[in-house]
Structure 1
Amino acid sequence: MFYKRLLLSLLPSIALASGSVSAYEKLEPPHDYDQVAQEIVATLENVHYNKTLIDDRISEQAFENYLDSLDPSRSFFLKADIEALKRYQNDFDDALRDGDTQVAYDIYNLYRERAEARIEKVLARVPEMVKGFDYTVDESLNIDPDALEWSSTEAQLDEYWRKRIKNRALTLKLNDEPQEEIIAAIERRYNNQLRQIEQTNAVDVFQSFANSVTAALDPHTNYFAPRASEAFNINMSLSLEGIGAVLQMEDDYTKVVRLIPGGPAEAQNELAPNDRIIAVGQKDEPMVDVIGMRLDDVVDMIRGERGTDVILEVIPAKSSTQNSKKITITREKVKLEDQSAQKKIVEVERGGETFKVGVIELPTFYSDFAAIQRGDKDYKSSTRDTKKLIEELQQEDITGLILDLRNNGGGSLQEANSLTGLFIPGGPVVQIRDASGRVSILGDQDRGVTYSGPMAVMVNRMSASASEIVAGALKDYGRAIVVGDQTFGKGTVQVLQEVDQGQLKITQAKFYRVSGESTQHKGVMPDINFPSLIDTESVGESALENPLPWDHIHETRYPVYWNFEEYIDQLTSLHDTRIKQDANFVALEDQIAEAKRQAEHFKSISLNEMTREQQREDNEAKDLARENTRRKALDLPTLESVEDIEEPEQDAYAHEAAEVLLDFISLYQQNQ
């Protein structure tokens, strides 16, 4: 085949660039996966929502994806390697279609040679490097992934590695680690990375190659080889064990995607989305560096017996200094009752009168399928629990109701449908369009209404999938005013397809609101925007590679019960005036502005100890000053240390949502 001939012509230039003939064990394609490659390309072209032809255009993107998966931090390949390898960028589609994936293994084998040689070189020099670092020198390390470039020479790559190791050493030094432990920790990191490379097998390479192609179609289509397939199936419930966090790999780092509501990490309240885990430790054992480690191996380290502690060293998402911190979390299984709907009442004083606004907090859309199969008539579900809580709140004479879907990542589509039905007397809830263009409608068949009064839905950037369906439906029906932040934008449906070895998770359909608007990419936009610390540039569907676009189809027939649009301008004006005077929101706006300033200005990190220490002290001083300004405005005692800062007892967002809802009720009554 053509790309094989290219391989023969390219190999001499690769060997020349490396300076030696590889002595490392080369991996070869497992031929029992030849059929799998052909199955994957056929399934992608015939089943995927876009039914995209796997051609040279896809191949070029897959080539870039594959290089990023192998060397995301530009640490091993040289520019000359990349230029030589570009001759393969149009061969990935042919390799998959013909069931001959040799090209992927030749690229991988060059990577392996480069990586093992580089890590062995680094390991030989770690002690002398750490002992010789001068932390008074003014130099910096680039931390902007968009600005990373391939090094032109070995000398440039040597310098890049020196700075990376110096940064890690300085981070440990600032955490008061002795020099001996700094050396040992860095050696553990690279010995571990070397071991990971040596343990990579031919099936792992095939999976990476296949996913370089699937990622060119959309971010939710993936191939899972048998081991990964088993891990994925476990992971459907795995996120409800251990620490209760969903993780993914990004640029050699294990990144926190989201926290599971009711889980140990959420309860511990230190770990946050976009935090990067750089080391994992167990009680009375040294921390193990996990940068560059396989995700499934990191997950295995974090999992453990219920009731035991795991220690995570993380770089917080909002840190401009890249200084790390250690977080101890007690492993537990997330119980269904911990994820259940909860109620509370927000009291608002107006004109000498106290108004009660009920709040239903719904962390996920759940249903106890095991209890249903047992025939248990009292099985738990989000709809049943929410209905019961609404009835209890109505007994307490509430003026309005808030459905809190913040951080609700979705769940059962049937539950999202039936829960929407608590607020409308039947009708369509969501439209689903498949790859052939057929549109099916899922709707509420129950004419009964549990709550017909004024309500709001509170969302944020972590409200996804089923949450967006509910928020979108209640907004379109005019049943609720939506407040908060733009939702995640996850409006696609995936199915699992078995292949000869493993399985393919493939995007097969898209969700559309009853108005015809897709929830994909754009999500649901709030009627009233609340300030948020979550950066929409780095979180959400639009932050992923190759997301399917937003579009719309024909609307369905549905009634509109409340004309919220008529009042949006007035409600926004009242809201803006109020939060400018609210100490909680003033502090939040200042925190958001500071986070944006740091994101814009800190594209590199100082390797000067005094500068880093000063940055940390300045940040802590700003945090403490901000909190004390807030506390003074609320007549609360001020704090002496940033360590004493805790989450405010009152949920400012829920209180403001109640204010907005009461504003609407007042304006509506004035117009009647």
Structure 2
Amino acid sequence: MTIPEKTSVHRSPHKAGKTGVFIALTIALLLSTPFAVQANAVEPESYTPVAPTIDQARANILIARQLQFTHFRDMGISDELSGDVFDAYLNYLDGQRVYLTARDVQALDKVKSRLGSALKTGQLQPGFDIYNLVQKRIIERLRFALKTLDEGIENLDFSSNDSILLDRSEADWEPDKEALDALWVKRIKNAVLAQRLNGTDDEAITETLKRRYEGQLKRAYQARSEDAFQAYMNAFTGMWDPHTAYFSPRTSENFNINMSLSLEGIGAVLQGDNEYTKVVRLVPGGPASKQGQLQPADRIVSVAQEGEKPVNVIGWRLDEVVDLIRGPRDSVVTLEVVPASATDETITKSISIRRDEVKLEEQSASKNTIEFERNGETYTVGVITIPTFYADFRAMQAGDPNYKSTTRDVRKLIAELQQEGVDGLVIDLRNNGGGALHEANDLVGLFIDTGPTVQIRNSNNEVQVLNDDDASVAYDGPLVVLTNRMSASASEIFAGAIQDYGRGLVVGSQTFGKGTVQAVRPLNHGQLKITQSKFYRVSGGSTQHKGVIPDIEIPSRIDKTRIGEDALDHALPWDQIEAVPHTRYFDFSDIIEELRKRHEDRFAKSPDFRLLQQEIDFLEEQRQRETVSLNLDERTTQQEQIERTRLTIANARRELRGEEPFESLDELEDWQDQQAADLGSTDEELDFVIREGGHIMADMLELDKRMVSILAPRQIAAQAEVRQ
């Protein structure tokens, strides 16, 4: 959730005039700084080291001051911070520890403890020296890889019992160049094996790998001062929290349109992830969301325009990848990605998406009904799906009485469902990444009388309480809210309020945990997005880090170790403040255990759930693998086992739908490609989760008949607490 500020506020003991003099004096000393880092090898002749500019030094000083005096987290710049910045910076530049040697890292140790003091005063040279050394090593490694390919991949030995570590982020640095050579031979063998097992011939494999390494090499030679500065500043700002970030002037342009690619794009929010560009989330109603194959945490390897060869984008700047993915409406862009579920970065798939605009009406709330019989009684449950919290601000400001917004649309849908005589209501917030804060506040108001909805605390410990002051209630019946790991920000505010008020049950999986508010502040060079506030529920607990814990949990395919606030480095912790008085409409404590038992009994008998659990177990087993064999026979056996499992799960799902099974994995993948070509025929969502929400609703009605009139005036009077 980002709330832009109109003005930039600096809480600082220095006056503006003194600050300007201080910056000028500091910058004058930059070129004589004694922080130079010596490389151990001769610098490649064609690489030109990048150097900091005066504008970047000035921006660095401003960033340091804003972090210390205006960030929500009260933290100074210390020697301990220096080491953390150093580690984060190396992790960004060489996160898999495949470029630098232990000897290189040891040579850099001399500046490790002094980065903090240098960053305070705009002395950027040590960070740039580190960046230049890594670029040199990248060039050396890529040259070695290309030389190995030139010697012929047929000369690589795939009969040994070698294996390779899949994740080297915690591995020891290789001691020297010779050890790195051996590691890179293994990396190349792994990439070759992955493509051979997919049926690619050696000539095509060589061409693909050469194109990949040559593209990365070209980028390394084209390194710019701004690349080093942005990487260094983000290692620095990331110490405060993962949502505080520096945007270069070019990146700022993309941020100002939310980097959503929604204008003649694919509708995906992207971010840099070491050498890769990673998908953060999909824009509801956008081409990628409707196409159905691109997923959060997928990493982009290459981008191909229609009828053209793919362009490898590993190592590219985020803004350049964004530019490449954008294009004319109705044109097709093909992304080669490492899927979030892949155990190995050599495993990729291609996804073709037709570019289009994301229209507001395609993000709108929608309704449906489900019916089922239990114990001779028929239940009708209304389902309202809310992809995002939206509002047509332009129409609102223009005075259009029919402007669209989440709350207005949901109110109409509720009225229509009530006319249909629904017994209960399910609000589906799965994959809803948030949106307009005031819409979350207003939406809560549709289900309660009046009262607080969320608390916002700033860095001065001042607390603002948002309230619903409208006494009207759109719906007073039983309510279930569905969430998953991708439900974030405004979704968490709504779900948390419904839970705190005892207004309904939250069902699904733990939400994302995005409970902070950022402001964008201009600098002399680029912008700083800085965390300034934190959300708290009316019960006092923060939505930050912990998110909303469901009353009844349903497992999810999403890997919680990779997606979610608690998976991010330096995320602000969960905490709590004083609760604000609020009505507790219903106490579920007497029936919650029975509700859970009935849910578990149903799922134990449900073929849909057993299939989901089988898929989750399979994915978890793949994630737990730490190494992969480089022996062709052993790797073939592993691959065949994985393919059999994938095919078995896919066919079991088709059998549940009464469809013919696939005879081979190729047939399954061909079908998936056909589905991708038709945006209207993507694989269905797990409807049994929505139906389970309906069954829980029926359980609530059966176990406590008071739920039928939960908001009757006499009950409100009896249950309401004293308000402030």
Same fold (TM over 0.5): yes
Q: Secondary structure at the match of 2:591?
A: helix
Q: 1:520 aligns with which of 532, 536, 544?
A: 544
Matching residue of 1:654: 690
Matching residue of 2:679: none
CA distance in 1: counterparts of 2:355 and 2:458, whole angstroms: 40
CA distance in 2: counterparts of 1:170 and 1:635, whole angstroms: 37
Distance 1:629 1:498, change over 3 A: closer
Distance 1:648 1:32, change over 3 A: closer
Deviates more, 1:76-85 or 1:392-401: 76-85
Residue 468 (str. 1) matches residue 468 (str. 2): no
Per-residue deviation at 1:131?
A: 3.6
Per-residue deviation at 1:627?
A: 4.3
Matching residue of 1:306: 329
Distance 1:619 1:251, change over 3 A: same
Per-residue deviation at 1:251?
A: 3.6
Give 1:476's aligned amino acid.
D
Per-residue deviation at 1:608?
A: 3.3
Residue 103 (str. 1) matches residue 126 (str. 2): yes
Q: 1:163 aligns with which of 179, 186, 197?
A: 186
Listed as ranges, the matches of 1:181-330 within 5 Å are 181-239=204-262, 241-320=264-343, 322-330=346-354
Distance 1:360 1:537, change over 3 A: same
Per-residue deviation at 1:34?
A: 2.1
Matching residue of 1:143: 166
Question: What is the number of residues matched between the two proteins?
Answer: 666
CA distance in 2: counterparts of 1:639 and 1:529, whole angstroms: 32
Residue 404 (str. 1) matches residue 428 (str. 2): yes
Matching residue of 2:439: 415
Give 2:462's aligned amino acid.
R
Kindly provide the CA deviation profile for residues 310-355 of structure 1, in whole angstroms up to 9, marking residues without a partner as x: 1122222223465322221111121111110010101121123321
Residue 28 (str. 1) matches residue 42 (str. 2): no
Matching residue of 2:584: 560
CA distance in 2: counterparts of 1:304 and 1:137, whole angstroms: 47
Residue 596 (str. 1) matches residue 620 (str. 2): yes
Q: Secondary structure at the match of 2:140?
A: helix
Distance 1:145 1:242, change over 3 A: farther
Q: Secondary structure at the match of 1:387?
A: helix
Residue 500 (str. 1) matches residue 528 (str. 2): no
- Check conservation: 1:277, 1:290, Cα contact below 8 A: yes
Residue 87 (str. 1) matches residue 110 (str. 2): yes
Distance 1:310 1:176, change over 3 A: farther
- Check conservation: 1:3, 1:88, Cα contact below 8 A: no
CA distance in 2: counterparts of 1:283 and 1:543, whole angstroms: 36
Distance 1:253 1:428, change over 3 A: same
Distance 1:182 1:641, change over 3 A: closer
CA distance in 1: counterparts of 2:56 and 2:30, whole angstroms: 21
Q: 2:200 aligns with which of 177, 183, 197?
A: 177
Matching residue of 2:401: 377
CA distance in 2: counterparts of 1:186 and 1:483, whole angstroms: 46
Matching residue of 2:61: 38
Q: Secondary structure at the match of 2:315?
A: coil
Matching residue of 2:357: 333
Q: Secondary structure at the match of 1:145?
A: coil
Per-residue deviation at 1:237?
A: 4.4
- Check conservation: 1:518, 1:551, Cα contact below 8 A: yes
Give 1:657's aligned amino acid.
G
Matching residue of 2:508: 484
Deviates more, 1:574-583 or 1:88-97: 88-97
CA distance in 2: counterparts of 1:612 and 1:314, whole angstroms: 22
Q: 1:60 aligns with which of 83, 89, 101?
A: 83
When the two chains are superposed, the root-mean-square deviation of aligned CA atoms in Å is 2.3
Per-residue deviation at 1:301?
A: 1.9
Deviates more, 1:367-376 or 1:44-53: 367-376
Matching residue of 2:372: 348
CA distance in 1: counterparts of 2:610 and 2:499, whole angstroms: 28
Give 1:292's aligned amino acid.
G
CA distance in 2: counterparts of 1:311 and 1:171, whole angstroms: 20
Distance 1:130 1:153, change over 3 A: same
- Check conservation: 1:247, 1:254, Cα contact below 8 A: yes
Kindly provide the CA deviation profile for residues 238-290 of structure 1, in whole angstroms up to 9, marking residues without a partner as x: 35652222222324222222222212222222222222222222222222222
Distance 1:101 1:479, change over 3 A: same
- Check conservation: 1:73, 1:251, Cα contact below 8 A: no
- Check conservation: 1:6, 1:87, Cα contact below 8 A: no
Kindly provide the CA deviation profile for residues 514-570 of structure 1, in whole angstroms up to 9, marking residues without a partner as x: 000000000000000011111212210000000000000000010011112221101
Per-residue deviation at 1:400?
A: 0.3
Residue 50 (str. 1) matches residue 67 (str. 2): no
Per-residue deviation at 1:303?
A: 1.6
Kindly provide the CA deviation profile for residues 126-173 of structure 1, in whole angstroms up to 9, marking residues without a partner as x: 221424234444422211234433110111101111122222233333
- Check conservation: 2:337, 2:350, Cα contact below 8 A: yes
- Check conservation: 2:95, 2:169, Cα contact below 8 A: no
Q: Secondary structure at the match of 1:327?
A: strand
CA distance in 2: counterparts of 1:289 and 1:283, whole angstroms: 15
The answer for unaligned runs of 5 or more in structure 2 is 1-28, 673-681, 709-724
Q: Secondary structure at the match of 1:118?
A: helix
Per-residue deviation at 1:231?
A: 2.0
Kindly provide the CA deviation profile for residues 189-223 of structure 1, in whole angstroms up to 9, marking residues without a partner as x: 12211221222221221221111110111100001
Give 1:579's aligned amino acid.
F
- Check conservation: 2:516, 2:544, Cα contact below 8 A: yes
CA distance in 2: counterparts of 1:593 and 1:21, whole angstroms: 48
Distance 1:289 1:177, change over 3 A: farther
Residue 584 (str. 1) matches residue 608 (str. 2): yes
TM-score, normalised relative to structure 2: 0.88
- Check conservation: 1:3, 1:103, Cα contact below 8 A: no
Identity %: 45
Kindly provide the CA deviation profile for residues 25-46 of structure 1, in whole angstroms up to 9, marking residues without a partner as x: 2222201222211111111111
- Check conservation: 1:478, 1:563, Cα contact below 8 A: yes
Matching residue of 1:458: 482
Q: Secondary structure at the match of 1:18?
A: coil
Q: 1:113 aligns with which of 114, 136, 147?
A: 136
